[in-house]
Amino acid sequence: MFRLSARFALLAASALGLQSSMAAADDTQTSRGEYLVTIGGCNDCHTPGYFFGKPDTTRFLGGSDVGFEIPGQGVFVGRNITPDKETGIGSWTREQIVTALQTGQRPDGRVLAPIMPWHAFAQLTEEDVTSIAIFLQSLKPVSNQVPGPFKPGEKVSTFMFRILPPGETSATVPN
């Protein structure tokens, strides 16, 4: 009976040790992901207020309030990339986030907006992209429905940057 109890105690201790090492690995990956998101400038396009010089840190990565117009393609607003299930990527699995970052393919089959630099993220190691996904999933969910995308010719409901190729004429100011 004593041997059986000792075995259960050893098994329980091993399981706790495994959980502790897994938690430490996740903490390390979360920190690495935070670092990569920071140097990658994700905050720039995905946090409200950033382009106005006053990022709303209470809605960090909760989606922009400014879009980018690409001629012939429309206007794209940086999406909410927090784990909010209704307005963010909370229903995406870790693997789906990694796939989107490496291939530009969303879980619903659509391609990420052309302004999203997924081609650069595709050059990261699997470990680094996984760390980004783990970090994004660790964030506080932010409920923020971002407008758009807007097709060419549609009325835009947000501020926007216009991206023009060389030789194009800038917009005129209405009288």
Q: 143-169: per-residue pLDDT in tens?
A: 999 999 999 999 999 999 988 888 888
Separation of alpha carbons 34 and 132, rounded Å: 7
What tokens does 31 get? 């920190």
Q: Is 93 helix (H, G, I), strand (E, B) or coil?
A: coil
Angle at CA 67, nearest 5°, toward 164 and 49? Answer: 125
pLDDT at 30 over 70: yes
Q: 74-112: per-residue pLDDT in tens?
A: 999 999 999 999 999 999 999 999 999 999 999 999 999
Contact between 88 and 107 (Cβ < 8 Å) = no
What tokens does 158 get? 């947000």
